[in-house]
Amino acid sequence: MIKKGDKVSILSGNFKGNKGIVLKVFSKKEKAIIHGINIVKKHVKPSAKKPKGGIIEKEAPIHISNLKKEKL
Protein backbone atom coordinates (compact mmCIF):
# COMPACT_ATOMS: atom_id res chain seq x y z
CA MET A 1 0.00 0.00 0.00
CA ILE A 2 1.37 3.40 -0.99
CA LYS A 3 0.94 6.20 1.55
CA LYS A 4 1.75 9.90 1.79
CA GLY A 5 5.47 10.47 2.32
CA ASP A 6 6.59 7.19 0.71
CA LYS A 7 9.46 7.23 -1.77
CA VAL A 8 8.37 5.62 -5.05
CA SER A 9 9.75 4.93 -8.52
CA ILE A 10 7.72 5.14 -11.74
CA LEU A 11 7.36 1.82 -13.59
CA SER A 12 5.79 2.94 -16.88
CA GLY A 13 4.85 5.98 -18.93
CA ASN A 14 6.76 9.15 -19.84
CA PHE A 15 8.45 9.31 -16.44
CA LYS A 16 9.61 5.67 -16.30
CA GLY A 17 12.62 5.25 -14.00
CA ASN A 18 12.14 8.56 -12.15
CA LYS A 19 11.81 8.65 -8.37
CA GLY A 20 9.82 10.96 -6.12
CA ILE A 21 7.92 11.38 -2.87
CA VAL A 22 4.15 10.89 -2.62
CA LEU A 23 2.35 14.14 -1.79
CA LYS A 24 -1.24 12.87 -1.81
CA VAL A 25 -3.09 9.58 -2.41
CA PHE A 26 -6.62 9.25 -3.83
CA SER A 27 -7.57 5.75 -2.62
CA LYS A 28 -10.98 5.56 -4.34
CA LYS A 29 -9.53 6.56 -7.72
CA GLU A 30 -6.33 4.56 -7.05
CA LYS A 31 -4.11 7.49 -8.03
CA ALA A 32 -1.29 9.41 -6.35
CA ILE A 33 0.44 12.76 -6.82
CA ILE A 34 4.25 12.57 -6.87
CA HIS A 35 6.43 15.62 -6.16
CA GLY A 36 7.98 16.99 -9.38
CA ILE A 37 6.56 14.24 -11.63
CA ASN A 38 3.85 14.56 -14.33
CA ILE A 39 3.74 18.38 -14.38
CA VAL A 40 0.84 19.82 -16.41
CA LYS A 41 -0.09 23.38 -17.32
CA LYS A 42 -3.53 24.50 -16.20
CA HIS A 43 -5.28 27.61 -17.52
CA VAL A 44 -6.98 29.58 -14.72
CA LYS A 45 -9.74 32.13 -15.28
CA PRO A 46 -9.53 35.45 -13.45
CA SER A 47 -11.24 35.29 -10.04
CA ALA A 48 -11.25 37.08 -6.70
CA LYS A 49 -8.20 35.09 -5.55
CA LYS A 50 -6.28 35.50 -8.84
CA PRO A 51 -7.47 38.71 -10.53
CA LYS A 52 -5.12 38.20 -13.49
CA GLY A 53 -5.75 34.48 -13.99
CA GLY A 54 -3.06 32.87 -16.16
CA ILE A 55 -1.32 29.55 -16.58
CA ILE A 56 -0.12 27.54 -13.57
CA GLU A 57 1.98 24.36 -13.46
CA LYS A 58 0.99 21.59 -11.06
CA GLU A 59 1.48 17.86 -10.56
CA ALA A 60 -1.16 15.56 -12.07
CA PRO A 61 -2.04 12.21 -10.49
CA ILE A 62 -0.51 8.90 -11.65
CA HIS A 63 -2.25 5.52 -11.31
CA ILE A 64 -0.94 3.47 -8.38
CA SER A 65 -0.29 0.44 -10.64
CA ASN A 66 2.49 2.47 -12.32
CA LEU A 67 4.29 3.06 -9.00
CA LYS A 68 6.67 0.90 -6.98
CA LYS A 69 7.46 1.62 -3.33
CA GLU A 70 11.20 2.00 -2.69
CA LYS A 71 12.78 0.17 0.23
CA LEU A 72 14.52 2.25 2.89
For residue 19, give its domain range: 7-69
pLDDT for position 1: 86
Q: Is residue 23 situated within a structural domain?
A: yes
Q: What is the pLDDT of residues 14-28, one digit of tens each?
A: 999 999 999 999 999
Domain count, the chain: 1
Half-sphere exposure of 1 (CA within 13 A, CB side): 4
Q: Is residue 1 situated within a structural domain?
A: no
* Distance, CA of 46 to CA of 24 (rounded, Å): 27
pLDDT for position 71: 83
Residues of the chain with pLDDT under 70: none
pTM over 0.85: no
Q: Is residue 60 situated within a structural domain?
A: yes
pLDDT for position 12: 93
Q: Is residue 35 situated within a structural domain?
A: yes
